[in-house]
């Protein structure tokens, strides 16, 4: 993420340099894991602007509900205190936008009632967001807003355009997931235009709706909106969790969620597979089931392929296990009850041992990942096991009959089987089948 200085929008009473300076004073230079603060600090250091004589005395950090940061800065030259805020443009203009939050400081900037200014600001923000820029708004109060209370006068300083390009392998990962018949939706806190542009770049559908549209929808249509949309923008953490829960519980989908921030934690914990990307915050990592240790999203597709191979091996094991047990029970039972002969106990023990040993290669089977997701359907597994078990049992009994009819054949000569020794022939054929 990086600031684009040439696209900074400054209000009439401020300059571009002042917008960068105030944004820097409202940032935490030591918070290296915050991409926004890191981008602002980097842009400030690369600019000719100086913040000498200003000291940040207190900062009220960002949270996903209030969507803004407030800092108290002391001007050493005059001894006065400035209150600076940065965050979502709508919340910086009017903190009651969207919904009233629980932040201790509430305000409306002086330009909030200037329709011409608001139209120009909206046009600028739409232009930036349509081109894929995220925007951070800056407002300044001349004085300590906490002490001034309702008398505090807030001025809108400007917009900082930030470019946050998709990860290098995101488009390829999305294409691979679509090939694997997996549906992908994007949920972001950015402006809807930014979401649509990002979706276009990574190969997703552009039916991206504002989170407010989902929140305000009647309960009978909300689920269908969530299902049909390609994604949602300007959402709250609670919106992300609700989307995941609807897809999981109402539609019965196996749902995965990726994220990197504190605001993603509720949705990560709600999903069946929560994935924290490389560089995620501790909150996201603690809520996730999988943690990526390398940049990019391609390991997600690799995990999908490997999980399908594992499922294929488990399916093969279940089918083989049931079929092999059916063969042993069915063939030995027929031999006992038809011929009236007893089974050699040693041979039964050897057969049981070899039956277990023969399961080992299934774990090393060169299984192929299926194109479509597979469901563990018990009825299908049972029918498949019965088919293999009955077919193999019939072939085994046929071979036993051949051994009896032709005592001079391979089995009889090699294993010294004599006439009418159906029992020993059966044991040898079963042993041969296990091997």
Residue-wise pLDDT for 105-158, tens only, equals 999 999 888 888 888 988 988 888 888 788 899 999 999 999 998 889 999 999
The rounded distance, in Å, linking the Cα atoms of 422 and 331 is 12
Domain of 246, CATH number, reads 3.40.50.1000
Query: What pLDDT is stored for residue 32 in this prediction?
Result: 62
Which of 266, 301, 336 is the C-terminal boundary of a domain?
301
Query: What pLDDT is stored for residue 403 in this prediction?
Result: 63
Query: Which SS3 state, helix, strand or coil, does residue 166 take?
Result: coil
Specify the pTM: 0.68
Q: How far is CA 82 from CA 67, 94, 122, 154, in A?
A: 20, 19, 26, 10
Express each pLDDT in 338-347 by its tens digit.
766 666 777 7
Query: Structural domain of residue 134, as residue ranges?
Result: 2-163
Domain identity same for 29 and 97 = yes
Burial class (CB in 10 A: 0-12, 13-18, 19+), 341: middle
What are the structure tokens assigned to 39, written together? Answer: 């981008």
Domain identity same for 7 and 95 = yes
Query: What pLDDT is stored for residue 85 in this prediction?
Result: 94
Are 290 and 274 in contact, with CB atoms under 8 Å apart? yes
The rounded distance, in Å, linking the Cα atoms of 223 and 251 is 9
Domain identity same for 310 and 399 = yes
Closest CA to 43 of 6, 83, 85, 87: 6
Query: What pLDDT is stored for residue 283 in this prediction?
Result: 86
Domain identity same for 112 and 193 = no
Query: What pLDDT is stored for residue 341 in this prediction?
Result: 66
Domain identity same for 297 and 316 = no
Number of domains the chain is built from: 3
Q: What is the DSSP string of 170-187?
A: HHHHHHHHHHTT----EE
Domain identity same for 182 and 194 = yes
Query: What pLDDT is stored for residue 33 in this prediction?
Result: 66
Are 390 and 364 in contact, with CB atoms under 8 Å apart? no
Contacts within 8 Å (CB) and 24+ apart, 194-201: 194/129, 194/132, 194/133, 194/134, 194/233, 195/231, 195/232, 195/233, 196/233, 197/129, 197/130, 197/131, 197/132, 198/132, 198/166, 199/230, 199/231, 201/132, 201/165, 201/166, 201/171
Residues of the chain with pLDDT under 50: 406-432, 434-435
Give the gyration radius of the chain's Cα atoms: 34
Phi, psi (degrees; rounded to nearest 5) at 371: -70, -35
Domain identity same for 127 and 24 = yes
Q: How many residues does the chain have?
A: 435
Which of 163, 186, 209 is the C-terminal boundary of a domain?
163
């Amino acid at each position: 993420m990086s600031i684009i200085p040439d696209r900074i929008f400054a209000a009439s009473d401020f300059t571009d340099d002042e917008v960068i300076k105030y944004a820097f004073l409202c940032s935490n230079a030591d918070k290296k894991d915050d991409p926004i603060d890191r981008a602002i600090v980097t842009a400030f250091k690369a600019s000719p602007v100086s913040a000498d004589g200003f000291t940040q005395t207190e900062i009220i950090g960002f949270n996903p509900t209030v969507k803004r940061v407030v800092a108290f800065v002391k001007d050493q030259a005059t001894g006065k205190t400035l209150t600076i805020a940065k965050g979502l443009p709508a919340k910086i203009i009017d903190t009651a936008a969207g919904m009233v939050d629980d932040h201790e400081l509430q305000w409306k900037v002086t330009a909030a009632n200037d329709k011409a200014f608001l139209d120009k600001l909206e046009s600028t923000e739409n232009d930036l967001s349509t081109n894929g820029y995220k925007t951070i708004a800056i407002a300044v109060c001349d004085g300590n807003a906490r002490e001034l209370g309702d008398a505090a006068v807030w001025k809108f300083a400007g917009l900082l355009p930030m470019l946050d390009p998709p990860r290098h392998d995101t488009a390829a990962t999305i294409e691979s997931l679509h090939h694997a018949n997996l549906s992908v939706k994007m949920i972001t806190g950015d402006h809807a235009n930014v979401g649509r542009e990002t979706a276009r770049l990574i190969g997703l559908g552009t039916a991206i709706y504002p989170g407010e549209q989902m929140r305000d929808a009647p309960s009978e249509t909300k689920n269908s909106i969530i299902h049909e949309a390609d994604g949602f923008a300007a959402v709250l953490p609670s919106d992300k969790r609700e989307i995941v829960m609807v897809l999981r519980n109402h539609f019965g989908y196996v749902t995965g969620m990726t994220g990197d921030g504190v605001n993603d934690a509720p949705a990560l914990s709600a999903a069946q597979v929560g994935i924290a990307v490389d560089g995620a915050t501790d909150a996201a990592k603690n809520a996730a089931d999988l943690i990526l240790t390398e940049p990019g999203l391609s390991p997600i597709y690799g995990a999908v392929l490997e999980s399908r191979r594992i499922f294929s091996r488990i399916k093969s094991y279940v089918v083989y296990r049931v079929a092999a047990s059916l063969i042993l029970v069915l063939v030995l039972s027929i031999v006992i009850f038809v011929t009236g002969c007893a089974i050699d106990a040693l041979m039964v023990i050897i057969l049981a041992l070899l039956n277990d040993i023969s399961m080992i290669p299934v774990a090393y089977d060169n299984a192929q990942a299926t194109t479509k997701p597979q469901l563990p359907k018990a009825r299908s597994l049972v029918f498949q096991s019965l088919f293999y078990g009955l077919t193999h049992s019939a072939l085994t009994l046929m071979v036993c009959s051949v051994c009896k009819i032709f005592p001079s054949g391979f089995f009889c000569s090699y294993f010294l089987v004599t006439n009418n020794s159906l029992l020993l022939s059966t044991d040898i054929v079963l042993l041969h089948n296990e091997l």
